[in-house]
Amino acid sequence: RHLSDVVAALPEVHIAVDSVPTPWEAKGQVMRQLIEKSSGRNQVLLDGVKLMLDDAWVLCLPDPDEPITRIWAEATTVRTAQQLVEEYGRRIRQMAH
């Protein structure tokens, strides 16, 4: 089997990225609330809060040097990736204020 055949068989993925202003004093609270509100879902808690969804994932990561939370989402469509970034951006904005 050729590597090009293997690569061609891989599903197409799309990534969306955003940054949400998050006051320093709210970062810990935001991360705790994300964990609590997504309990029962498949979570990876290495660098931030990564939620594994059906055909996608979203990672919310507090920036160590700036008062922001970075959000990455990967999905099989551009629209889904963007919707995830927007949804979690809204959640973080609500939790931070």
Mean per-residue pLDDT for 47-72?
95
Residue 19: CA count within 13 A, CB half-sphere: 8
Structure tokens at 52: 């594994």
Q: If you average pLDDT over residues 31-40, what whole number do you get?
A: 90
What pLDDT is attached to residue 40?
Answer: 81
pLDDT at residue 32 tops 90: yes
What pLDDT sits at residue 38? 87
pLDDT above 90 (res 46): no
Find where tokens 């089997």 sit.
1
Strand partners, 18: 71
* pTM reported for the whole predicted model: 0.86
